[in-house]
Structure 1
């Protein structure tokens, strides 16, 4: 499978596809076509999330910090329970994300 194959261009809601998962890790391909998080809603996840934008653009907001605009190649680590939301994804083209959800074992993250 190629991550860039079969990317829909118009969706009623985000498309989330689980590519692989194990006991403490899940890898998802997410496709957004102008989608946002519902107003007043925040993601508050049990696992850490590392996310990268492969195509398109998006803006994430955090309840404890500055918003982050992401373009292709931009990635970030969202620690468990850091409340965040998607403010916007571009309507010009699908935004293609790769997200890895995992439980931190010990130590610190290398790329924060």
Structure 2
């Protein structure tokens, strides 16, 4: 039996009116997804407050994440990754508008 194989950079729609979230793998304690942003940001005034840790890597593009607690802004470029601990309120402040920002997000449930 040949294993399923895909490419993280394939099948990205040319039109992306909203950020794209795709589940790549889901198991009891882990959820892995691909996120594609193209100028998308977290809605004004909204902060993510997740009940689980999230490890995220920006595979392509540029982005800025902001933490509510100290208003720290983290500029990310391709290859950068970080762990966002559970209940760390954060938001995506900016993503490059002229390129696909491809994220790999691992939710540790």
Task: Provide, for residues 49-83 of structure 1, a one-character-per-residue CA deviation record: whole Å limited to 9, x for no partner.
Answer: 00000001110000123110100000000000000
CA distance in 1, matches of 2:15, 2:76: 20
Equivalent of residue 48 in structure 1, options 29, 53, 69: 53
Please list, as runs of the form range in 1=range in 2, the aligned pairs for 1:11-30 lying within 5 A after superposition.
Answer: 11-30=16-35
Unaligned runs of 5+ in 2: 1-5
CA–CA distance in 1 between the matches of 2:58 and 2:103?
5
- Between Structure 1 and Structure 2, how many residues are aligned? 103
Q: Secondary structure at the match of 1:58?
A: strand
Structure 1 position 87 matched with structure 2 position 90: no
TM-score (norm 2): 0.91
Task: Give the whole-Å Cα distance in 1 for the aligned partners of 2:9 and 2:73.
Answer: 27
Contact conserved, 1:9 with 1:93, CA < 8 A, in 2?
no
Following TM superposition, the consecutive aligned residue runs of length 4 or more in structure 1 with deviations greater than 3 angstroms are none
TM-score by length of 1: 0.88
Equivalent in 36, 43, 64 of residue 41 of structure 2: 36
Q: What RMSD, in angstroms, separates the aligned Cα atoms of the two structures?
A: 0.9
d(CA) in 2 for partners of 1:96 and 1:7? Answer: 10
Determine the structure 2 residue equivalent to 1:99.
Answer: 105
CA distance in 1, matches of 2:89, 2:104: 19
